[in-house]
Amino acid sequence: MTARIRLALAQLNFCVGDIDGNTAKIVDAIRFARDSSAANLIAFPELAVTGYPPEDLLLRPGLHRRVEHALDIIAEAASGITVVVGHPEQDETGIFNSCSIFRDRRLATRYRKQQLPNYAVFDEKRYFTAGAQPCILEIDGFHVSVTICEDIWAPRTAAAASANGAELILTINASPYRIGKRAARLSAIRAAVAAAGLPIVYLNLVGGQDELIFDGGSMVVDGAGRTVVDVQEFTEVVALVDVEKTARGFIFDGPNDELTADQENIYQALVLGVRDYVEKNHFPGAVLGLSGGIDSALTLAVAVDALGPERVVAISMPSRYTAQMSIDDALDQARRLGCVCHVIPIEKPFAAFNEILSEVFAGTTADVSEENMQARCRGLILMAVSNKYGQIVLATGNKSEMSVGYATLYGDMAGGFAPLKDVPKTLVYTLAKWRNRSREVIPGRVIERAPSAELAPGQKDTDSLPPYEILDPILEDYIEHDLTPQQIAAKGFDLETVRRVASMVDRNEYKRRQAALGIRITKRAFGRDRRFPITSRYSEQTDVPNIAR
C-alpha cells in the first residue's frame, strides 16, 4: 500500500526574545505551506518561538507567559495542516526544551528533549530538565518520531523511537556552525540511522545570534545512510519534501541544492554573523578602521557584503609611521567596494598625548607605550564617529593576534563586534584570496606585503611573533586540542618557540575577557566556548612530573 505526505521544512531565522515577531513569522510560514504548497506537515526549528539560545531569559517568568500566548496563536493557525514547533515549556517540575504538535487548532501532543548538551557553547543543563518519553506522531498513514537536536547525537534515542513503532524520524535543531560541522552532523545522523534502521529528516535553524552562527543545511538521510535531500545553507527557506511510502521503502523528493565548499561557507558565516548582529540590534550601519593591512581589508569586504556599501564607513588613520601605500590601498579598496573612506591623520592627537605625558615619561625611552598610544588615538576616533552616527564599530583583529595578546586594549581592540575574532591569520589570507576569485576587491598588494602594525619604523609582525604559518598550528593545538607544549613540539616545532607562544596565550586571558564579541567558526573560540580563569598559577610550560602513587 502506498502513502504520501508533503513535509515543509521551515529553515528560518528567528531573533532571540522577539516572541511576537517569531510567532508572526511562524504563522506566515504555516499559511504558505498549507495554502500555497499543500503540505501535510510543517516543522520549525528548536526553540523557534523564543529563538536559540534564550539563555537566562528562561529564568524570567514573563517569558513563559508570553510563550503560552504565542502557542495559542500558533494553534489557531494550525487548521488543515500539522505543525511541529519548538519552544520552552515550564511547569511545576521544571523548564523543558519542548516541541508542540498542533492539529485542527488544538494541541495533539508534546515532546520534551531527552539529551541536554552541556559542553562547548551549550549550557542546557543550567536551564532545562530532561524529558524521558519518545513521541510518535501518526499522520496520514505515517508514524513519525519527533526528536530535538542533541537527541539524534545519541543513537539510543533513535533506537528507542524505532522500538516504539516509528517509521521515520523528524529532528528539529538549532545546531551552530563551525568548520567541519557538516561532516560531523552527517556522521551523527548516519549513526542514528544505523541504530534505528529508519530515515531521518533533519531540520536546522539559520541565522546569527551573538557569536553563534546557525547555517541551516537541512537534509534527509534515507534508511541506507544516503543523503537524498540537501537544502541550501545560510539561506531562509521553506523547503518542500515529498515522502512516499511503498512496500519497498521510502522515496523522497525534495531539493538537492549545491552545497558550498569550505572557504565559501566560512565566508558566508562571517557575512551572516555581521548582518544579523547589526540588523537584530538595530544599528544603522558599521564603521571600521581601514589600515591598508589584510585584516581590516577582509573585515571591510565582509561588512560591505553583509550590509551594502552605503551602510559601511571606513576610516584611514595614518600616523607618522604609516607607509603611503597603506593609505593608497585603503582608499583603493573603499573605491572598489563603493563605500566612503575618510582619511583622519592621528599625528595631532598623538603629539598632544606625547606632550601632556612628557613630564611623567621624563627620563624614559620610547617603547610599547608610545606604540599603543597611537592605537588608542585610533580607537577614540572610531568610537567618536560611532557615538555621533550610531554605527557599530567593527574591530578588525584576528584569532592569532587575540590568542597571543598582539593587540591593544582600548585601541585596535575597541569595538562592539569582531568579525575575524575566531579566524586565524593564515585563514584571513585564504579568505581574502577567495573573495577576490571573480573580482579583485582587496588590492593584491594588501595580500602580498608582509603584515605590520606600523606603530614604529620598519616594524613587522615577525619582530614579535613567529611566522604565522608556524604560529597558527601551534595555537590550534594548544587552544583547540589542549595539547601541552611538549606534545606540540613532538610534531616538529621548536620547544622554546612553543613554550613562548603558550606563555603568551596564558598571560593574555585578561585582554580577551575585555574583547568585543566575535563570530565563532572553529572548534573552540574565545568567549562562551573557552572559559579559563584570569588569575591562575597553573602552567604547562614544564614537563609534568612523575608522581609516585
* Angle at CA of residue 320, ends 314 and 322, nearest 5°: 50
C-alpha 296/C-alpha 431 separation (Å) is: 13
Contact, 446 vs 293, CB < 8 A? yes
Return the SS3 of 177.
Answer: coil
Tell me which of 149, 339, 341, 377 is the catalytic residue: 149
User: Quick check: 446 and 294 in contact, CB under 8 A?
Assistant: yes
Write out the three cell numbers for 114: 531527552
What's the rounded Cα separation, in Å, for the pair 407 and 402? 7
Among 89, 84, 88, 28, smallest CA distance to 52 is for: 88
The angle that helices 294-307 and 324-337 make with each other, rounded to 10 degrees, is 20
Q: Is 377 a catalytic residue?
A: no
Phi-psi sector, 424: left (phi>0), alpha (psi -120 to 50), beta: beta
Q: What whole-number distance in Å separates Cα of residue 199 and Cα of residue 203?
A: 13
C-alpha distances (whole Å) from 125 to each of 85, 117, 188, 428 are 21, 7, 21, 36
C-alpha cell at 438: 571573480
What cell numbers appear for 210 in the block?
A: 551573538
Cβ atoms of residues 82 and 108 within 8 Å: yes
DSSP H or E stretch at residue 373:
helix 368-389
Phi, psi of 243, rounded to the nearest 5 degrees: -120, 125
Residue type, 296: S
Q: Catalytic residue at 348?
A: no
Distances (CA, A) of 116 to 95, 173, 227, 232, 518: 12, 12, 26, 27, 25
Buried b or exposed e, range 22-59, using 16+ CB within 10 angstroms: bbebbbebbeebbeeeebbbbbbbbbbbbbbbbeebbe
Please confirm, yes or no, whether 149 is among the known catalytic residues: yes
Pairwise CA distance, residues 372 & 407, whole Å: 9
**Residue 199 to residue 190: CA distance in whole angstroms:** 9
> Which residue among the candidates 25, 113, 245, 425 is catalytic per the annotation?
113
- Supply 142's cell numbers: 505515517
Which of the 8 DSSP states describes residue 233? B
Of the candidates 85, 15, 10, 6, the residue with the CA atom closest to the CA atom of residue 51:
15
Structural Rg of the chain based on CA atoms = 26
Is residue 207 a contact partner of residue 178, using CB atoms and an 8 Å limit? no
Tell me how far apart the alpha carbons of residues 77 and 70 are, in angstroms, rounded to a whole number: 11
So which residues are the catalytic ones?
A: 46, 113, 149
